[in-house]
Amino acid sequence: GDSASGKSKLVERFLLDDYNPRQLSTYAVNLFRYSTTTEDGRQWKVDLWDTAGQEQFDKLHPSYYYKANAAILVFDITRKITYKHLQDWFSELRQHVEDVPAICVANKIDIDMTVTERNFAFPARHKLPFYFVSASNGTNVVKVFREALKLAVANKECPPDEVLDEIYRLLKADDNNAAA
């Protein structure tokens, strides 16, 4: 998401259950290691990448997506342009990791709760899970990150491209056996 959409504050709220209203812009990327346990009791260590939204870091974006297993697209409900830019962020994500699961969140709903009565076409059009969140008061933050972690684990265990590679390999082996 765009700069100042609240990405760092969402990570802060999730990891620390805290909110400090003052924040410098993220410089390039902040990395966090998080340990979690899935519902079936398995332990996972997850790297959370809090990326910079400023244009001067555009050239770094491909490295943000490398081996990503899930993404959270964030827009700020108080700045319409951040919603309009979601398509750019989503297109860029798909350019680098075609099948990675993504979640869309409308941040800062504590400022205007009436926004939750609106329909947003972008997440529906792209069939993305959609949440209204507030880093400030914590609304739905844990829920979003848990959903992202669940999607990431599922994607890590069975990435769509590896499944297709395996199918292709098996079909090719069958063709070679039939020709022999």
27 in a structural domain: yes
Report field, pTM of the whole predicted structure over 0.75: yes
Query: Which distant-in-sequence residues (6+ apart) come within 8 Å of 50 by Cβ?
Result: 7, 8, 11, 26, 29, 30, 31, 32
Q: Is 1 part of any domain?
A: no
Exposure b/e, 147-163, CB count within 10 A at least 16 = b: bbbebbbebeeebeeee
pLDDT digits (tens, 9 = 90+) for 104-162: 999 999 999 999 999 999 999 999 999 999 999 999 999 999 999 999 999 888 866 66
Return the amino acid letter for 56: Q
* Average pLDDT over every residue of 51-60: 54
Of 92 and 16, which is predicted with more confidence? 92
Total domains present in the chain: 1
Return the CATH number at 170.
Answer: 3.40.50.300
Residue 132 CA to residue 118 CA, distance in Å, equals 11
pLDDT at 22 over 80: no
Q: How far apart are CA 116 and CA 130, in angstroms?
A: 11
Q: Domain span at residue 118?
A: 7-179
Query: Residue 67's closest CA among 46, 91, 40?
Result: 46
Tell whether 2 is covered by a domain.
no
Sign of CA dihedral 50, 72, 159, 156: positive
- Between residues 151 and 11, the one the model is more confident about: 151
Query: Highest mean pLDDT: which of 21-25, 58-62, 87-91?
Result: 87-91
Q: What mean pLDDT comes out for the span 51-79?
A: 75
Amino acid in the structure at residue 9 = K
Residue 135 lies in a domain: yes
pLDDT tens, residue by residue, 74-108: 999 999 999 999 999 999 999 999 899 999 999 99
Longest alpha-carbon distance in the chain: 69
Query: What are the φ and ψ backbone dihedral angles of 99, each rounded to 5 degrees?
Result: -110, 10
97 vs 67: CA distance, rounded Å: 8
Residue 171 counted as domain residue: yes
Percent of the chain topping pLDDT 90: 44
168 versus 100: the higher-pLDDT residue is 100
